[in-house]
Amino acid sequence: MKVLILLPPFLPVTEISKIINQILPDSEIVTDINFGSKNSEVLVATTFTLIGKEIIDRLPNLKFIQIASTGYDNVDLIALKERGIKLSNIPTANKESVAEHVLAMVLSQLKNLMHFHNEIVKGNWPFLTNSMELMGKTFGIIGMGAIGRKLAERLLFFGTDTIYYDIVKLSEEEEEILGVRYAGLDEIFSRSDIISVHVPLTDENDRFISKKRFDMMKDGSIFVNTSRGELVDEDALINAVKSKGIRACIDVYSTEPPDPDSELFKLDNAIFSPHIAGVTIESQQRFITETVANVLKYVQGLQPLYGVLP
């Protein structure tokens, strides 16, 4: 079964090729979307490439797509359904990385690390601080999938009051193990000292974190987004940081790379990273391993894990 692997050129393609060719010898790796027509039955891609109808139509024998990432909003699901093509993602490989990134950003905000760094670099020596502890804070998690659960596990050791919202409520046993309590979105936004978003992007939740939601938040609370930029009304976020002192921790943007002249990057109360929360040496190794394993399952006639489309 022929496998086509479509990678962005900035990845270590040579190293990845060595690993892939040992396990999937009947595979071809390309780094240019203008690869022409192929007779491959399996396509492996990342979220860095838009997998639209144009690319799908160049693969007339395509039966299965494996996205080497948690998200798959770069894939034209309608085109896949029309052709009956299966789709899988890898939703668990970066859960530790993202959970740690969220905590790093939150602790940096609570401890005013960016401010102190800048002051010392400028030759100042601050004597006073309004730093706060994470212990005892109400931490709201929106989305209790693999990443949300991993974050909740880590928060157990910080002594937070952790509440969560998800379209699927956990069992009482799961809630007890994770030390969390279910709450509606209104309660999440109005009660939380810190809110972290961990949901996939869909047509239904585009910009669902709107001015209405930010208006509910406590003045000076912390908002973290490591999911997708399109979940948030960016203008409303900018206004909330300015008017309510919301402290933002942003890893994802509606346009990537974002406009460097955006008003967002002129805010003092914000920390930014380049959509890299889930990218660590360890997580990338897991992505490669789990992606190859899932493709092997399909090639061998087994049901792949994490099926998005049957």
Of 100, 107, 66, which Cα lies nearest the Cα of 85? Answer: 66
Cβ–Cβ < 8 Å for 36, 57: no
DSSP 219: T
Catalytic residues: 228, 256, 275
Q: Which amino acid is at 84?
A: G
Instruction: Report CA-CA distances (Å) from 296 to 177, 264, 265, 304.
Output: 34, 43, 44, 8
Alpha helices in the chain, H assignment, sequence order: 13-23, 53-57, 77-83, 95-110, 113-121, 146-155, 172-178, 185-191, 211-216, 234-244, 281-299
